[in-house]
Amino acid sequence: MRVRVADTAVELAEGATVLAAVRAAGQEVPTLCQDDRLAPVGSCRVCLVDVDGRVLPACTTPAADGMRVRPQEERARAAARRALELVAAGLPERALAVPADRSELVRCCALLGVFAGSFGALPHRRGTDHSHPYVKLDRDLCIACQRCVRMCAEVQGTFALDMGGRGFDTVVVPGAGEPWVDSPCVGCGGCVDSCPTGALSEPGLLDPSPLAGTTRTTCGYCGVGCSLDVH
Ligand code: FES
């Protein structure tokens, strides 16, 4: 099928989405809840574009032959910006300090012109979980997109993560809410890789685990029991 994205015509296979059309045209649409490894859910609304005069989410809208897509149309961009501002309002301003190559949120803010003043409308006291040697959680940066939960369950097949809390305090929780290190997490890193904000990250060389030098732990992959030092 043939779709026109702004001034560019692109050929797409049946089943492609509007997001695929825009990318095929060499243009970028901000996305937050979208992960190419997972079926799209269309929950964040920051990918809104104009499709034949209607404002629709690019990630969940199927492309159709003869469709005309305008990613930069101002009404769609304004709606996407408002959706992103709502996400930002629930985050501390330091969410913008995460390097752009580790934060889709930061890249979305740059693309849609959302700045520091949109952040910090809510108090942030959810705390952190640095108990695991390979995964650290900053709950205040969690936007409850569920990408990590779905990555753990649908791609990794571990089912170590879930969502907990209510309302604005809804965040990812490991297992039954125990410290991350005591959960069924196998340390595959899929959750960290899918996190769009940096709420989940690896303890870095310059940011060692608080357990450094004090703990011996056991890799969760096979249960043979080879232990390793946490540095
Ligand atoms: Fe499309 Fe979230 S990326 S709705």
- Domains of the chain, start order: 1-123 (3.10.20.740), 128-229 (3.30.70.20)
ipTM of the predicted assembly exceeds 0.95? yes
Q: Which of 20-24, 152-156, 215-219 has the lowest mean pLDDT?
A: 215-219
Looking at residue 113, its amino acid is G
Cα distance between residue 159 and residue 66, in whole Å: 42
Q: Which of 26-35, 127-136, 215-224 has the lowest mean pLDDT?
A: 215-224
Residue 223: phi, psi to the nearest 5?
80, 10
Q: Dihedral angle at the C-alpha atoms of 193, 198, 204, 210, nearest 10 degrees?
A: -120
DSSP state letters, the chain: -EEEETTEEEE--TT-BHHHHHHHTT-----SS--TTS-----S-TTEEEETTEEEETTTSBP-TT-EEETT-HHHHHHHHHHHHHHHHTS-GGGGGS-GGG-HHHHHHHHHT--GGGS--S-----EE--SSS-EEEGGG-----HHHHIIIIII----EEEESSGGG-EEEETTSS-GGGSS-----HHHHH-SSSSEEPPPTTS--TTTTT-EEE-TTT-S--EEE--
Q: What is the pLDDT averaged over residues 172-185?
A: 90
Q: For residue 207, what pLDDT is reported?
A: 58
| Residues framing ligand 1 (Cβ under 6 A) | 31-34, 42-47, 57, 59
Residue from 18, 36, 38, 47 to probe ligand 1 pocket by mutation (most atoms less than 8 Å from CB): 47
Which tens digits make up the pLDDT trace of 182-231?
Answer: 999 999 999 999 999 999 999 873 354 455 454 555 666 665 656 555 54
Inter-CA distances, 39 with 130, 150, 153, Å: 30, 10, 13
Residue from 22, 32, 82, 108 to probe ligand 1 pocket by mutation (most atoms less than 8 Å from CB): 32
CA of 145 to the centre of ligand 1 (A): 10
Percent of the chain exceeding pLDDT 90 equals 80
Written as six digits, the tokens of 145 are 């997109």
Which tens digits make up the pLDDT trace of 43-76?
Answer: 999 999 999 999 999 999 999 999 999 999 999 9
Q: Which residues contact 117 (CB under 8 A, 6 or more apart)?
A: none
